[in-house]
Chains A and B, each alone.
Chain A
Amino acid sequence: MSLSRWIRTPLLVLPLVLFLWPGTPVQASTVRESILANGMKVLLVEVPKAPVVTVQIWYRVGSRNEVMGRAGLSHMLEHMMFKGTERYPKGTFSRTIRKNGGNDNAFTSQDYTAYFENLAADRVELGLELEADRLRGLLLDEKEFQLEREVVKEERRLRTEDDPQAFLVESLFAQAFLMHPYHWPVIGWFPDLNAMTREDLKRHYDSYYVPNNATLLVVGDFKADALLPTITRLFEPIPNKPVPPPPAVTEPEQRGERRIIVKREAQVPFVMAGYRMPNYTHEDSCPLTILESILSNGKSSRLYRSLVYEQKIALAVGGEYSLLQADPELFYLYAVVKPGQKVERVEHALYRELARLQATLPTAQELQRAKNQVEASYIFGQDSNFRQAMLLGQAETVGAGWRHVEQFLERIQRVTAEDVQRVARRYFVEEARTVGILIPTPPPPKSAAQGSPQS
């Protein structure tokens, strides 16, 4: 799940998945990798098509690196990263970027925290300078922290508390992961946000915001030869330091279906089923990516065609799988139940599509379509410097490495119909399933609601 500092997200707030994994690149952009003396990795991609550039810095720290009782610490720190350093006091970061014609923001997920500046090409140094500065000189002012905690609590109310579907998603993850830190939400729980201290933030910052735990990306209209010395000058003096080890928790095997029911005021039921899945480290991640496309990508996908088009029992359906997770996570399906339809029927219709994939091979046409979709989405993704940098940054930060992108492109093309059937049978089993159902309740009676404005 990814949270940004103030970007609005669409109605269905579900864990963020970048595009599908890329297909065979027609002409993949050349990535130039450098590693500074302090261990910071730098990935530069020259794209001269428009006079713009994106600068991104990715830290290998997210809610996965937090401990029980301090859920949301990484995201809170992300907010505090805009609250000033000794050199550039509160409020100057975004103002400086903006008055130079740029946009900046940040996002936090389970596995990473990333910051970016999109700028006109001649301003690239400014983004680099500001990122280098806040990598070591953060103030973490107590008063600013108290204020920003209120902002983050508002963010939690907006995104989760007052959104029935997002509320269900959060509950489902807490059920699916009992021990692994994927148990808690990126934004944190209210009690944890209240308990957090400046010292917690300082420790987190000192532990994880070190150059050897970061990847810097620049994608756009610049010359790598000219820019690398600038990057070296700005970042290499920053000392490195050992980083705490990643969480040693392996979520134990699930032994039986888990179900979570949420009852609250809502218009229609929402059903979601998550299955435990391997990540990029496993060879099955490629067939699973193809399976995801067959199942849920577009109006010709199985879920749409069956539940929305033919049976007319769902308003929207989807399936999401991201192999770019640091630890194994979920493949989940969901459906927004059409008014008047029974949630049980919709839930079983989701399972029936999985059973079909287990029983019969996908057609040659479906398999090829999925591969074509993966390939096209990679090329379309390259149209945006920002998305290109995100893909590389995410691959690098979760541990796959940016070179994995190209390897996956090839492996995806070799996936067979039998592979798809095999992974369908292996992973979509009831024992490993966590089901979440939102059951709407009627609004409170009018009389109770009317006590208001004047009283």
Chain B
Amino acid sequence: MVALFLWLSLALMPVQLQAADINPIRFVLPNGLTVLVLEQHALPLVQIHALIKAGSAQDPAEKAGLANLVASLLDEGTGSRTAKQIADQIEFVGGTLAAQASEDFTTASARVLKKDTELGFELLADILRRPAFPEAELKRVRSEILGEIATEKDDPGQVAAKVFNELVFEEHPYRWPVNGTEATVPKITGRDILIFFLRQYRPNQTILTIVGDITVEQARQLVTKHFGSWKQGASPVRTARTPRPLEKPVVRLIEKDLTQSTIMLGHVGISRTNPDFYAVTVMNYILGAGGFSSRLMDSIRDNQGLAYGVGSHFEANLMPGAFFISLQTRNETANQAIAGVLTELNGMRNAPVTDEELADAKAYLIGSFPLRLDTTAKLAEVLSLVEFYGLGLDYFTQYPRWIERVTKEDVLRVAKQYLRPSNYALVVVGNLAKAKVTQKP
């Protein structure tokens, strides 16, 4: 009993509103390149992370996959290096060079040991500024992407997500997969790639974040040397569009001879810059993002044994992204799981969360904040997103306060506003004869 008492006193100790001690330096080059530098001298390594403000949302519908193909070709040859030379140079020093497109932006980063910092800058600048898009590499990479799209059909989660996005994002650029489709990728030409690159890859459209064993002064010199002469371009016009909400439940059932049904249910969610983002974060934690503390995990897994994993997600992008709940359960229990999901969705809207739920959610979100920033790679990524979404460099001190401010009333309000258990898209991939889904397509 004594031990128990002691332990409780520890467990109930309030989580401090401790701000992560993260103070990056920000400056802008004359060509418009935004630079963030965070010194971290514990280990001899440097992470250089570029974010280009263009992604698949900028793809023409008939050429979905364009931004991804451009990103995939960055390290496949430049004006002065072949694809092989780039790989040889970065890998000889044990470093990595990687580029990836997503919906709203593309990232390209170099990770090197301190002694190779100059090389990291040189290679990253080369692939961002002077990619050559050689025809032979384009042909090969395009066929690899088509192969990847084909193999995604073996993953029921991917199959479900693609159909789900088509239902939710009708006539909206988030509709298509970032890597495109079997119909669109073959249509992308070298010319499309070059035009996209020349228009989008510009210093005034780029955020460069450097984290690691480097001083601000060294970083400034290296940035100026490798990116200073990068020519500014016209700022492309961006029209943010809000996807149209569904007006009734839409159901798609996809036959696949599997032991489990993969279930995805949801609708349009919120953007990252929505002022309700923090209230939604708390609400969603309680609903299904809080692991074993969440209602969905408690109900679907722990009390009914229906699934290994279940969770809810808000993809808070530049424009409102998807809200969805996903799980896998054996075909025979698909209806039971769907019913369980709808019960929890309605539950969030029908009654306020308990004081304990609210307190636990806030304590986790605030207390775990430093864990999300505990490596150089994570820091570089988060810093660049803070800049991209315009959250302000005081984000690291403000985040705990924004979460702390959320009330039970806020949670109920955002649940009513952003969860729509009567107008959702439902996708089931599995053995339909066994699943016997009661919702009619």
Contacts and interface: CB of A to CB of B under 8 A. Distances in A.
A26 B42 CA distance: 12
B370 A268 contact: no
Given A91-B298, A382-B43, A336 B151 contact: yes
Q: Among the interface residues A151, A158, A450, which one has the most CB atoms of the partner chain B within 10 A?
A: A158
Interface residues of A, number: 90
Interface in A32-89: 47-52, 82, 87
Contact of A49 (B40, B258, B298, B308): B40
Interface stretch (B236-244, B359-367, B410-418): B359-367
B92 A365 contact: yes
A443 B259 contact: no
Contacts of B10: 125-126, 129
Nearest to A154: B308
Interface stretch (B28-36, B57-65, B285-293): B285-293
A339 B367 contact: no
Contact of B377 (A82, A150, A383): A383
A376 B93 contact: yes
A374 B94 CA distance: 7
Contacts of B93: 372, 376
A286 B257 CA distance: 44
Interface stretch (A100-108, A195-203, A348-356, A391-399): A100-108
B87 A299 contact: yes
Interface string A297-337: 11110000100110010010000000000000000000010
Nearest to B153: A267
B147 interface: yes
Contacts of B291: 6, 94, 98, 103
Contacts of B377: 383
Interface in B4-39: 4, 7, 10-11, 15-16, 18, 20-21
B432 A449 contact: yes
Contacts of A377: 94
A147 interface: yes
B367 A300 contact: no
Contact of B258 (A95, A162, A374, A376): A162
A369 interface: yes
A41 B75 CA distance: 46
Nearest to B114: A26
A452 interface: yes
A299 B147 contact: no
B156 A162 contact: yes
Interface string B407-441: 00000000000000000000000001101111011
Contact of B305 (A11, A51, A95, A151): A151
B4 A453 contact: no
A385 interface: yes
A11 B301 CA distance: 23
B190 interface: no
Contacts of A375: 94
Interface stretch (B102-110, B138-146, B269-277, B342-350): B138-146
Contacts of B7: 129
A52 to B, nearest CB: 5
Nearest to A378: B94
A102 B151 CA distance: 36
Contacts of B438: 453
Contacts of B43: 26, 49, 379, 382-383
B433 A451 contact: yes
Contact of A380 (B111, B293, B304): B111
Interface in A151-199: 151-155, 157-158, 161-165
23 contacts: A6-B308, A49-B43, A50-B373, A50-B374, A98-B364, A102-B367, A102-B371, A120-B370, A120-B371, A147-B302, A150-B305, A150-B306, A151-B308, A154-B307, A155-B308, A267-B153, A299-B91, A300-B84, A309-B83, A309-B140, A312-B143, A376-B93, A451-B432
Given A267-B151, A300-B92, 14 more contacts: A101-B364, A101-B371, A119-B371, A120-B367, A125-B10, A150-B305, A158-B328, A162-B258, A162-B260, A338-B147, A369-B94, A375-B94, A379-B113, A450-B255
The 6 closest A-B pairs by CB, nearest first: A101-B367, A376-B94, A150-B305, A452-B432, A49-B42, A94-B292
